[in-house]
Amino acid sequence: MEGPEDTHRSGPSSRLPWIAFGLLCAGLLTLFLVYPTYPNYDSYYSLLWAREIWDGQKPVFDAFRAPTEHPLAILFSMFLTPFGQGADRVVVFCAMASVAALGAGMYQLAKLAFNRWVGLVAGVLLVANWDLILLAVRGYLDVTYMALVLWAAVLETRRRRRGWPTMLLLTLAGTLRPEAWVLCGLYGLWMAWDGAHVLRDGRIALREGLSRVLTRRGITWLALGCVATGLWLATDTVVTGNPLFSQTYTSGLAEELGRTQSPLAIPFTTISFLRGIDGLPLFVAGLVGLLTTLWIVPYRATMPLVLFVAGIGTFFLLGFGGFSVIDRYLLVPAALLLIFAAVLLVGWTLMPEGRVRTWWARASLLGGIGVVVVGAVNLQPNSLANDLKFRGDAHKDLVRVLDEPQVRAALKCGPLWTPNHKLVPDSRWILDAGNAEVLPRSMLKPALFDTDVTGYGSPDRRVARKAVPDAEGLRGPDGRLLYVTVKGPNGTPKRDSRGDVLKTTVPNPTPTVTRGVALLPTSRLALVRQGYVFVGDDRAFDVIPPAGFRRIATSTHYAVYASCRP
């Protein structure tokens, strides 16, 4: 069989990877320029938190529906803060550059494990996935995270126990996504172990194994494997006073939004998500390719298989721990399945000349044609173009309507109210506004459990309402305050574990706003994506003007209403 060393032969085929990489970069740059898009919800919050730090303020991690913070994303955003309003486009550019780095890392990993042809096909299958490109054009940090993990695997594959370069990439990945904490810990343990084999009985093996790990060198590597976790906990401690804020806040919010799964459902969810990311043909091809690899060249599958198993295992741990269970957390395992799908398609190049190689090549040709046909049938270029156009046009439209002089003047009367949390970070970024200056009307939703001493069924809402003044915008239609302070027997206000004064709802009020500025989506796409989004959580009347508000500005996708009455 052909070995990895045979892939370095010179010839016309050796230039194909460079040509493919050049075409990929050119295509991504063209997409960036022709369809100007802007960051997603999470990335805008990283920019906002970085701007708060830049201004000498403590970032507000517990804003209503705020995403989990990512220390490296905030640090990177701080370097972009001097770019001003243009920093959001730089985030998108870097995310799209990460696609190129990810494609190159995919090629290198598959080439080192198998050969050049498997690498090329795996890279093509990866970047041809439009869902990945959509993540990049919205500035998701997941693409950068994937690139860091794959390049760490490349370094380790090139030289076993590479050391600090591999750990550095994994640590950076661990400050972007907590799933990498497992990889950091495993690599720290791998480096701590000196590689000697202990083959006697279990008790002796354990004792000698611990003696080999618990040396000065071993403890140093174990500590380095915990750096990413430590940085995340330190960030939470400095900002919130709670080192486990990200874990507790994320799990509570995940349960509230219905993103958690029972332990019995996690395996089925995993299969469903992997199938959804890769598509059914490539998902099946990846599983068959994995089995084929383990059959014919198992020793070459070590690194891709380790990453795949670690990714699946981490996803299971997240699900069992009550954290959000969303498909993006399986992007790395889904990408590794594409390597095994590539093995199924061109793995015949690993075989010596003969009947098996010939028939495998013919079957792969038919399978490749099938994958292309299925992809072409499912591709909807007009829909994709319209989606990209909306993302750019809607943001520019939002900038235009919020920059209207009458809108800026009306903001002196009260906060900007959006239907829900979707438009909050974009609006705050455009207006250079603080957490209390842009508020979602959905946070005024009545308590789910009126018997709760806090008066709020949602901890997320309870914490977020701290930023909302009672006297401005929180009165019912009859003029009564919607929320009053909970007092103890001696008349002093009650406080929760965080030291915040507890408030409860006035019985049966209709939450509304009486002053400030209301931003409402008006086009069909804006309503669906930014207005009435969460059917079980959003309220239909939040996308209509509050009583007494008059229209002061309109645009293609939005309308702005204001009220300055006392």
Cα angle 326, 245, 320; round to 5 = 40
At residue 343, the 3 state secondary structure works out as helix
Q: What is the pLDDT of residues 144-157, one digit of tens each?
A: 999 999 999 999 99
Q: What is the pLDDT of residues 342-357, one digit of tens each?
A: 999 888 888 888 888 8
Give the mean pLDDT of 260-270. Answer: 76
Q: What is the pLDDT of residues 5-15, one digit of tens each?
A: 444 455 566 78
- Give dist(CA 311, CA 308) in Å, integer: 5
User: Tokens standing for 127?
Assistant: 């970047």
Q: Indicate whether 472 pLDDT > 70.
A: no
- Give dist(CA 244, CA 252) in Å, integer: 12
Beta-strand relationship, 438-440 and 550-554: unpaired
Cα angle 269, 262, 457; round to 5 = 120
The predicted structure's pLDDT at residue 501: 56
Least confident of 375-379, 439-443, 509-513: 509-513
User: Is pLDDT larger for residue 58 or for residue 514?
Assistant: 58
Helix intervals (H) in 193-301: 202-213, 216-224, 227-240, 245-256, 266-278, 280-296
User: If you average pLDDT over each of 211-215, 258-262, 271-275, 376-380, which comes out highest?
Assistant: 271-275
Q: What is the pLDDT of residues 364-397, one digit of tens each?
A: 888 878 777 777 776 666 777 888 888 889 999 9
Share of the chain above pLDDT 90, in %: 37
Q: Which amino acid is at 498?
A: R
The closest alpha carbon to 134, from 30, 43, 23, 37, belongs to 37
Residues paired with residue 550 on neighbouring β-strands, in sequence order? 562
Residue 450: which pLDDT band, with cuts at 50, 70 and 90?
very low
Residue 470: which pLDDT band, with cuts at 50, 70 and 90?
very low
Q: Indicate whether 441 pLDDT > 90.
A: no
The predicted structure's pLDDT at residue 507: 46
At residue 554, the 3 state secondary structure works out as strand
User: Is pLDDT larger for residue 501 or for residue 97?
Assistant: 97
The predicted structure's pLDDT at residue 473: 39
Residue 254: which pLDDT band, with cuts at 50, 70 and 90?
low
Give the mean pLDDT of 274-299. Answer: 88
- Give dist(CA 96, CA 83) in Å, integer: 18
Question: Is residue 91 exposed (0-12), middle (13-18) or buried (19+ Cβ within 10 Å)?
Answer: buried
Q: Indicate whether 84 pLDDT > 90.
A: no
Residue 487: which pLDDT band, with cuts at 50, 70 and 90?
low
- Give dist(CA 494, CA 472) in Å, integer: 23
Residues 253-288 as b or e (16 or more Cβ within 10 Å = b): bbebeeebbeeeebeebbeebbbebbbebbbebbbe
The closest alpha carbon to 253, from 449, 459, 95, belongs to 459
Give the mean pLDDT of 238-266. Answer: 72
The predicted structure's pLDDT at residue 24: 93
- Give dist(CA 121, CA 126) in Å, integer: 9
Residue 258: which pLDDT band, with cuts at 50, 70 and 90?
low
- Yes or no: say if 59 and 49 are a contact pair by the CB < 8 Å rule: yes
Q: What is the pLDDT of residues 308-342, one digit of tens each?
A: 999 898 888 877 766 667 778 889 999 999 999 99
Give the mean pLDDT of 479-494. Answer: 54
φ, ψ at 483 (rounded to 5°): -130, 135
The predicted structure's pLDDT at residue 537: 67
The DSSP code for 233 is H
Give the mean pLDDT of 242-256. Answer: 70
Residue 447: which pLDDT band, with cuts at 50, 70 and 90?
very low
Q: Indicate whether 165 pLDDT > 50.
A: yes
Least confident of 87-101, 129-143, 211-225: 211-225
Mean pLDDT of the residues in the chain: 81
The closest alpha carbon to 546, from 510, 504, 522, 508, belongs to 510
- Yes or no: say if 69 and 122 are a contact pair by the CB < 8 Å rule: no
The predicted structure's pLDDT at residue 404: 93
The predicted structure's pLDDT at residue 8: 47
Q: Which amino acid is at 286?
A: G
Helix intervals (H) in 5-86: 16-34, 41-54, 71-80
Residue 398: which pLDDT band, with cuts at 50, 70 and 90?
very high
Distance of CA 377 to the CA centre of its chain: 29
For the CA atoms of 69, 259, 386, 142, what is the dihedral angle to 10 degrees?
40
Residues paired with residue 485 on neighbouring β-strands, in sequence order? 503
Residue 199: which pLDDT band, with cuts at 50, 70 and 90?
very low
Residues paired with residue 438 on neighbouring β-strands, in sequence order? 416
To 10 degrees, what angle do helices 355-378 and 280-296 make? 160
The predicted structure's pLDDT at residue 462: 55
Q: What is the chain's percent helix, strand, coil content, to nearest 5?
A: 65, 5, 30
All residues at 6 or more sequence positions from 195 whose CB lies less than 8 Å from its CB, including other chains: 161
The predicted structure's pLDDT at residue 468: 56
Q: Count H helices, E strands: the chain? A: 23, 7
Cα angle 555, 559, 560; round to 5 = 125
- Give dist(CA 110, CA 340) in Å, integer: 9
- Yes or no: say if 474 and 444 are a contact pair by the CB < 8 Å rule: yes
The predicted structure's pLDDT at residue 464: 57
The predicted structure's pLDDT at residue 449: 33
Residue 300: which pLDDT band, with cuts at 50, 70 and 90?
confident
Beta-strand relationship, 503-505 and 483-485: antiparallel
Q: Indicate whether 86 pLDDT > 70.
A: yes
- Give dist(CA 403, CA 399) in Å, integer: 6
Q: Indicate whether 222 pLDDT > 60.
A: yes
Provide Rg for the chain, Cα atoms: 27
Q: Which amino acid is at 99?
A: V
- Give dist(CA 551, CA 560) in Å, integer: 6
At residue 563, the 3 state secondary structure works out as strand
- Yes or no: say if 372 and 118 are a contact pair by the CB < 8 Å rule: no
DSSP 354-412: SHHHHHHHHHHHHHHHHHHHHHHHH--HHHHHHHHHHHHHHHHHHHHHHTSHHHHHHGG
